[in-house]
Every structure is written in structure tokens, then in C-alpha cells.
A and B are shown apart, each in its own frame.
Chain A
Amino acid sequence: MTNTLNHNAAQNDDVVHPEPEDDEQEDEEEEDDDDDDVLPNLRTPQSPASKLQQQRFKVETLARRLSSEMVPIRVHDVLVNGNTKTKDWVIEAELKGIETATTMQDLMRACEAAIARLQALEIFDSCKVRLEPGPKELPNTANVVVDVVEANNTVSGECGVYTKPSTSSWSLECALKYKNLLGYGDIWDTSLAYGGSQATELSLGVYAPRIKRLLTPIVARIMLVSQDWQEFSSYKEQLLGASIGLISTKHHDLVYTLGWRTLTDPSQTSSRSIRRQLGHSLLSSLKYTFKMDRRNSSIRPTRGYAFLSTTHLGGLSPDHRSLRFLRQMTSFSAVFPWGQGFMNKTSPLPERFYLGGDFSPVCTLGGPTTLWGFKTRGLGPTEPRRQSRNRADDNNSDSPGWDFIGGDLAVTAFADLSFDLPIKWLREHGIHGHVFAGSGNAAKLTQNEYKHFSPRKFLESFRTSVGCGIVIPTRLFRLEGNYFHILRKDEHDRGKTGFRFSFSAPS
């Protein structure tokens, strides 16, 4: 009898508490002891109307109790139903906080959080949590029952456009995902990306939220990346490798990469220092990123601060012939090689700093790479490319062109002042104006160039640009129409005064 009433109480719950959109459903049922206190006429048969009245009374009492006081409860058992492929411990690991809840309110909050975490795994079609009364001999206890429905469609496809601050470019990415192959909540994906600088990437990756006792998710990827820097620096880069994410939290990220990198120059026009770096190298590196973003918005930040520090250490192998370098990127960056005789060695070409690009430094947290008004790899140390073959015919020969060889030390700074526009419609949509100024420089330090380095000369040769424009922030990206005026640039820099559109995505 009691159980039937409890069931009816659950049914009426649906009337009193309409189900939220994400299919969360909690059937709240009274503890047996409370039923005895609250309900009169338990044993006499009742008409449907009076039954309904009693149920309503019960629920109202419960709601009043929940809103006015902490209702003590203890979780006796947590049961998982519906998982045929997924391992129990994968689901149980997401149910933290439920077992330790001491009050009804805590329990409800913990259940909501658990459902959100389970849905974030992307391997279930639906997740529901039910509370059932515990054993009769243990008062004030409840059993938590988790009902999951595993996804029917394990294969899904995705297509998107993403930013790559490291190369100041966009990439179009298409991915095919296979979910829960091994039952660990693992997601396997094959993706093909095509982007700026004719960068193409084919990769196969796996993501697993946890493996048994390991606290951090497992992220591993095998990739074949190819990038064409022929236009700027006369070389093409290919990388065949694998990366493993060791630590991945909100602020910290640690990734190990092992790869075979090849630099080639099919056009055979590269400058001297690039020519000497062509060939094969083994990349074995650890990259640690610390990120703190306290800005109130990444599209139009008006308050707060953000800090990004990336430390990339290469050469982590017993073989001294692998690429050795240390790259540190914050607001003040430096790159230099290490190992025996490191003072004389040159830094690896792809690890140097290349300034320039279309992204706005306001919303992109990518380090000192972009500078308003200058094109991708548009400023920094340069070297003349190979001269045409016929040296006797110098007068008619074309000038050879210049390679941007990147710097070992790069510093950029920017200031951006944004203001609302007078038209109301523009203000409502967040469209605002801004004036800005940016400055940056890159210098070579390796191969004994540090002996010629002078801070005064470095400061004097800072490139500077100013400008103004209109910013149209959208949900996905930030569109800017700007007029740049380059105040100072070097002879070979690729930057122009003029009007330009650019759009960048927050990161």
C-alpha cells in the first residue's frame, strides 16, 4: 500500500514539477517514515479525487520542507542500468558527490551535475536519475538509480572552421567520429583539415575521459601535417607524428609530441640559412601551456586579464641527434637551441617566431605573433633568396626576393581603445569602434648573432602601426574593418597602409 502511494506521489510529481528540456526526470518519493507522519487515513479505501488531494498535499509538504529546511538523507546505493557496452566504472566515475550527499538539496544538485557530466561524454542518447527509497530497515536512506540509453548512432560527422593562432590562419576541418568503441567512453575520430598556407592535416585521434585510476583524460593523436611556406620563406614542412595529452585541465595543458619533420624546397630558391636547414629531423618534445583567462568576454573584453605562457622543450630523447630547442612564449618570448655547443647552433626553423597575421590580438591569446597591418610572416629578419643563375646578366635579372627566416626573440605590444558608437541600433548589436596601436620586433640570436645584439638597436627597429576601425562581434567570430597606418617598417617587411577586413575568433 505504502509503495503504491509512493508511486502515485511520483506520478503527481510530474504535474507539480514539469520536466526540464534535457529529459532530466527525478521521481521524488517520500521516505516511509515521513509518509506515516503526514498522511491520514492510510488504510481506508479512498476515491480517486481524495487520493489526488492527498498526493498533492504530500508533494506540497515536501516542497515546503525542501525550501525551508535541509532535509537529511543518506545515499545507500548507486545503481546503473542500461549500459550494455559502457563499463560500469566509466559511469560511476562521473557520479561523484552523489554518495556523499547528506541532504536532499545536495543530492539533487549532485544528480544534476552528474547528468551534465554523463551527457558531456557524448556517448549516451539520454541519461536519467531516479531516487528510490532505501531498504526498510534503514530509515532516511535512498537509492540512486541511473538509467542510461547508449547512443544508437555511434558514428557521427562534424564540419567546422577553426582558428590557428600559431600560424595566424583559419582552417576548415571535417571529422568523422566513432563513439564508445571499447566501452570506456572513448571517442575515435578521423579528421581532415585544410587551412591557410595550404596547410593540410590528416589525423586519427582518440579521446577517453579516464582509464581506471588515471585522473586526467587520455588524448592521443596520430597526424600527417603538411604546410607550405614557399611564398614567405621558401620551404615546405611535413610532419608525421603522434601526440599524447598528458595533462589537460582548465589552466594547464601538457602534450608530448614525437614526429618526423621534413623541410624541403622544391622551388630551389631559398636563402642560405633556410637552405642549410632543409632535410629530416626527429622531433621529440614536451609542450606545457598555462592559461589564465579572467576577461569578461573574449570577443569584446572590457574587464579582466588574460595570461598565456607556453613552454616547448624539444630534444627529449636519448639520441643527441634529435631536434633540441627550448621555446618560451609569454608576452616576452625567446627561442634558443640547447645541447652541446648550443651557442653556435641555429634554432630550428619551424620553432622560430614569425610575426604578422590577420588576427586581432585583442581576442586571440596566441602569444606575440600578430601585428596590425602586417601580413603573415610579414616582418622580422630576412635573407635574400637564391639569385638567378646567369650572374653575367645581372642587369636584366629579377631581384631575388626575400625569405622571412624568423626570429629567436620576439616582443610585441598592443593597445586597443574601444568605444560605443552613437547610433542605438549599432550599440544594441555590440558593434563598436576602436582605435589601436601595435608594435613589435623579432631578432635572431643564435649562431653567435647574440654578440651583435644590442637592446638599443632592437628598440629602435621596432615596427609600429596605428589605426582605427569598426568591430562587429558575432557569436562565432569578431569581424573588423580597419584602416591601418604603418608608422615604421623595415625595407623588406610586408605591410601596407590601407583599409582591410579581418576576422578572428576568440581563443
Chain B
Amino acid sequence: MAENEINTLVVRKPCFGLPTGCTQCLSAYLYLKFAQLPFQLDFHLNYPDSDQIPYFEVGNYVAYNNEKGGVIDCLKRDVGVVDLDSGISSLPDWIQTKAMLTTWLADALAYELWVGSEGYSSSPAYTIYYSDLSWPLGKVLFWRKARWIKQKHGINNENAELKKEEIYRRAKSAYGALSTWLGEQSYLFDNRPSSLDATFLAHGLVVLQALPESSVLRSKLLEHANLVRYVQQCKTEFIDDNPTPTYSWQFHTAGSSSTSSRSTSSSKTKSKPKREKTEEEKTFKRRSKYFVAAQLVAVVVFITIMTSFDDAEVDLDE
């Protein structure tokens, strides 16, 4: 199998003992682990503000996270990855839990990373997203994201404390509801892993591993022993067994080699009936552009030559 035919999940930087420090990337990682799809990790480190990451590559096929449903839905549709949510994704409890995870908990973590932290360098966001960018670039992008989060929540100087309390209160309620829902089970729904487990576990791992001990959000999560147990169990099973991939500057080379002109491409069928029409139109447009350009050039050349001819006459007169 050629190197680029290997399933590759491209994620953000591995840090804090995790295969990747970004929750969305980690959630995709965990889902693929649950689905038992073999894959390798690769890293894209200089694009912290991209919504395309994580993306999944195999051969020339790519599933980006900003496409319909996210990277996991694309994989379920196109690659045939197991749908772990079948039978449970239409339940009302499912939808409520999903809403809680993707809004209240995600917002709380984003707030903690970008706004609640004490500064750029001390924030875990720096390590996860910006540590591979030059300082001025990272600083500007961090500030831009912090400003976006404040705008999203309508935070200003007057209501900053109120908003902060509201965000943490909601996170606390969410943790309480999840803890009650989970109970002593191993997974959130039907005692089997699903995409919501991947989402929550990714959130929990980042909160417990990346956030400092002084973090409010972290302390709120630690109040629920069963949630902590649930996260630790996942870590043992899916993270610790697979040591963090060695990260170095060679991230570009992991399983990559450009095909270049030496590769044998798939057979190219050049004539397709449904494209002929548009090809003709394009040719026609191109030819008309050339015609107009030729006219213009002829006029310019004529003027220039005639001008130089006139100049020559004037010289002779003098």
C-alpha cells in the first residue's frame, strides 16, 4: 500500500500527555478509536484559526471538519466508518445532551482557555494552538480569538463578572446533569460508546490534563467522581495504551511523500459528455478575449510605430 493510502487523521499539536490538545481533534480521534478504524496521526501546527482541522485523509480523499456534519459524519457517509450512534441519535435525551456538550461545556472551556486565563503565555491555549507560530503571529491570533469569544457572549467591562459567573454556573449544571445521567455506567447511552462519549471525553481530558490546578472549570469537574472515573478509564484504555506520537519538526514527513510527476495517476477520461458544453463555452470566451486583446495590441503598436515615425520626421526637419 502506498504511503498516502494509509488512513491519516490530521490534528493539532500533541501536548499535556494527550495525542492532541484540541477538543475537536481529540473527539474525532476517540470516535475512530471506538469504531476500531486503524489510522495514524499527523499534525498541522501553523493554522490555529482553521475550521478545517481535524481532517481525515486517505489517498486523494479528504474529509474536512467544516463540511456537513463534521469530519465524523463525512467519514460515516463516504468511507463507511461504523455509525456508533444508530438507534440512539434520535432520542430526546440524546439531543439535549448533545446541545449541552456543544454549547455550555464547549463555551466554558473556550472561555477558560482564551479569556479566563492570566495571559497569553500562561494559557494552555498557547501550548495547544500557538506554540508553533512566531510570537507576534500567535499573540495577534490569540487576541483575535479572545475578542471573538467576548463578542459572542456579549462580554464587556461592565458585565464581565456576571457573564463569567453565568458561564461557570451553566458548566456546573451541565456536569451535574451528566454525572446524574451517567451514574455507574461505562458510557452515556445504551452502555456502548457513541459520538457523544467521544465529545464529552475529549472535553474532560483537556479540562483535567491541560487546565492548571487553579482553574475554576477543572475544580467543578473534579466535584463529580463518576465523571472523573469515566474520563480516567477512557484515558487508560485509549490514550495510555497508545503513547503520544513523538512530535518534532518532522510533522510534514509523517507518512507523506509527494506523488510528483513520477506517480501513476488513475486513468483520466478526458471526454465527458456533460462537460463538453461548458468546455465549448470556455473556449469561446477565451477566443473572444484573445480577439479583443489582439485588437488592442494592434492599436497600441500602430500608435507607437506611427509616433516614432513622426518623431523621425521631426528630427529630419530640424
Q: Are A340 and B297 in contact (CB under 8 A)?
A: no
Q: Are A273 and B47 in contact (CB under 8 A)?
A: no
Q: Which residues of B contact A492 (CB under 8 A)?
A: 261
Give which listed residue, A387, A461, A472, A491, contacts B61 with CB less than 8 A: A387
Q: Are B249 and A280 in contact (CB under 8 A)?
A: no
Complex CA distance for A273 and B272, rounded to whole angstroms: 28
Q: Which residues of B contact A400 (CB under 8 A)?
A: 60
**A502 nearest CB neighbor, chain B only:** B297
Q: Are B297 and A448 in contact (CB under 8 A)?
A: no
Contacts A280-B47, A387-B60, A398-B275: A382 and B260 contacting too (C-beta < 8 A)? yes
**A490 nearest CB neighbor, chain B only:** B261
Binary interface profile of B, 196-237, with partner A (CB < 8 Å = 1, else 0)? 000000000000000000000000000000000000000000
How many chain B residues sit at the interface, stated as a range, is 35 or more
Q: Are B257 and A449 in contact (CB under 8 A)?
A: yes
Contacts A279-B46, A279-B47: A447 and B257 contacting too (C-beta < 8 A)? yes
Q: Are B253 and A282 in contact (CB under 8 A)?
A: no
Q: Which residues of B contact A296 (CB under 8 A)?
A: none
**A319 nearest CB neighbor, chain B only:** B134
Q: Which residues of A contact B132 (CB under 8 A)?
A: 321
Complex CA distance for A350 and B118, rounded to whole angstroms: 37
Query: Among residues 260 to 275 in chain B, which have CB atoms less than 8 Å away from a CB atom of chain A?
Result: 260-263, 265-266, 268-269, 272, 275
Complex CA distance for A490 and B260, rounded to whole angstroms: 11
Query: Among residues 466 to 498 in chain A, which have CB atoms less than 8 Å away from a CB atom of chain B?
Result: 472, 474-476, 479, 490-492
Nearest Cβ distance between residue B70 and chain A, in whole angstroms?
A: 14
The main secondary structure of chain A at its interface with chain B is: loop
Q: Are B268 and A399 in contact (CB under 8 A)?
A: yes
**A429 nearest CB neighbor, chain B only:** B305
**B61 nearest CB neighbor, chain A only:** A387
Let me know if A456 is at the binding interface, CB within 8 A: no
Binary interface profile of A, 454-469, with partner B (CB < 8 Å = 1, else 0)? 0000000100000000
Query: Among residues 351 to 407 in chain A, which have CB atoms less than 8 Å away from a CB atom of chain B?
Result: 380-387, 389-392, 398-400, 405
Q: Are A444 and B260 in contact (CB under 8 A)?
A: yes
Q: Are B261 and A268 in contact (CB under 8 A)?
A: no
Query: Among residues 319 to 335 in chain A, which have CB atoms less than 8 Å away from a CB atom of chain B?
Result: 319, 321-322
Let me know if A345 is at the binding interface, CB within 8 A: yes
Nearest Cβ distance between residue A441 and chain B, in whole angstroms?
A: 10
Nearest Cβ distance between residue B115 and chain A, in whole angstroms?
A: 22
Let me know if B252 is at the binding interface, CB within 8 A: yes
Contacts A384-B60, A391-B79: A280 and B256 contacting too (C-beta < 8 A)? no
Binary interface profile of B, 127-138, with partner A (CB < 8 Å = 1, else 0)? 000001111110
Give which listed residue, A279, A381, A474, A501, contacts B260 with CB less than 8 A: A381
Q: Are A346 and B252 in contact (CB under 8 A)?
A: yes
Complex CA distance for A149 and B261, rounded to whole angstroms: 64
Contacts A346-B252, A398-B272, A398-B275: A282 and B137 contacting too (C-beta < 8 A)? yes
Q: Are B308 and A501 in contact (CB under 8 A)?
A: no
**A379 nearest CB neighbor, chain B only:** B261
Q: Are B266 and A399 in contact (CB under 8 A)?
A: yes
Let me know if B191 is at the binding interface, CB within 8 A: no
Binary interface profile of B, 115-146, with partner A (CB < 8 Å = 1, else 0)? 00000000000000000111111001100000
Let me know if B84 is at the binding interface, CB within 8 A: no
Let me know if B259 is at the binding interface, CB within 8 A: yes
Nearest Cβ distance between residue B131 and chain A, in whole angstroms?
A: 8
Q: Which residues of A contact B57 (CB under 8 A)?
A: 272
Q: Are B297 and A503 in contact (CB under 8 A)?
A: yes
Contacts A280-B46, A389-B78, A429-B308: A384 and B258 contacting too (C-beta < 8 A)? no
**A283 nearest CB neighbor, chain B only:** B134
Query: Among residues 300 to 318 in chain B, which have CB atoms less than 8 Å away from a CB atom of chain A?
Result: 300-301, 304-305, 308-309
Binary interface profile of A, 80-108, with partner B (CB < 8 Å = 1, else 0)? 00000000000000000000000000000
Q: Are B304 and A345 in contact (CB under 8 A)?
A: no
Complex CA distance for A156 and B275, rounded to whole angstroms: 51
**B63 nearest CB neighbor, chain A only:** A389
Q: Are A386 and B44 in contact (CB under 8 A)?
A: no
Complex CA distance for A380 and B260, rounded to whole angstroms: 8
Let me know if B74 is at the binding interface, CB within 8 A: yes
Complex CA distance for A381 and B52, rounded to whole angstroms: 26
Complex CA distance for A386 and B63, rounded to whole angstroms: 10
Nearest Cβ distance between residue B219 and chain A, in whole angstroms?
A: 34
Contacts A272-B258, A344-B253, A391-B79: A475 and B308 contacting too (C-beta < 8 A)? yes
Binary interface profile of A, 105-145, with partner B (CB < 8 Å = 1, else 0)? 00000000000000000000000000000000000000000
The residue among A268, A276, A391, A461 with the most chain B CB atoms within 10 A of its own CB is A276
Let me know if B36 is at the binding interface, CB within 8 A: no
Q: Are B261 and A447 in contact (CB under 8 A)?
A: no
Q: Are A273 and B249 in contact (CB under 8 A)?
A: no
Give which listed residue, B64, B134, B257, contacts A268 with CB less than 8 A: B64
Binary interface profile of B, 34-50, with partner A (CB < 8 Å = 1, else 0)? 00000000001111101
Q: Are A268 and B52 in contact (CB under 8 A)?
A: yes
Q: Which residues of A contact B259 (CB under 8 A)?
A: 272, 382-384
Contacts A381-B258, A389-B74, A474-B304: A479 and B297 contacting too (C-beta < 8 A)? yes
Q: Which residues of A contact B256 (CB under 8 A)?
A: 272-273, 276, 447
Complex CA distance for A475 and B297, rounded to whole angstroms: 14
Nearest Cβ distance between residue B72 and chain A, in whole angstroms?
A: 14
Complex CA distance for A475 and B309, rounded to whole angstroms: 12
Query: Among residues 151 to 194 in chain A, which have CB atoms less than 8 Å away from a CB atom of chain B?
Result: none
Let me know if B183 is at the binding interface, CB within 8 A: no
Let me know if B294 is at the binding interface, CB within 8 A: yes
Q: Are A399 and B269 in contact (CB under 8 A)?
A: yes
Q: Which residues of A contact B272 (CB under 8 A)?
A: 398
Q: Which residues of A contact B10 (CB under 8 A)?
A: 276
Let me know if A45 is at the binding interface, CB within 8 A: no
Complex CA distance for A447 and B257, rounded to whole angstroms: 7
Q: Which residues of A contact B260 (CB under 8 A)?
A: 381-383, 405, 444, 449
Known A279-B45, A341-B250, A447-B256; 14 more pairs at CB < 8 Å: A260-B140, A268-B52, A272-B258, A280-B137, A340-B249, A346-B252, A384-B60, A387-B61, A398-B272, A398-B275, A405-B258, A429-B305, A448-B257, A501-B290
Residues of chain A at the chain B interface (Cβ within 8 Å)? 260, 268, 271-273, 275-276, 278-282, 317, 319, 321-322, 339-341, 344-346, 380-387, 389-392, 398-400, 405, 429, 444, 447-449, 452, 461, 472, 474-476, 479, 490-492, 501, 503
Listed by A's residue number, 9 A-B pairs whose Cβ atoms lie within 8 Å are A278-B52, A280-B47, A345-B249, A385-B60, A389-B61, A389-B63, A449-B258, A449-B260, A472-B305
Closest 9 A-B residue pairs measured CB to CB?
A: A279-B47, A282-B134, A279-B46, A387-B60, A474-B304, A381-B260, A319-B134, A273-B258, A344-B250
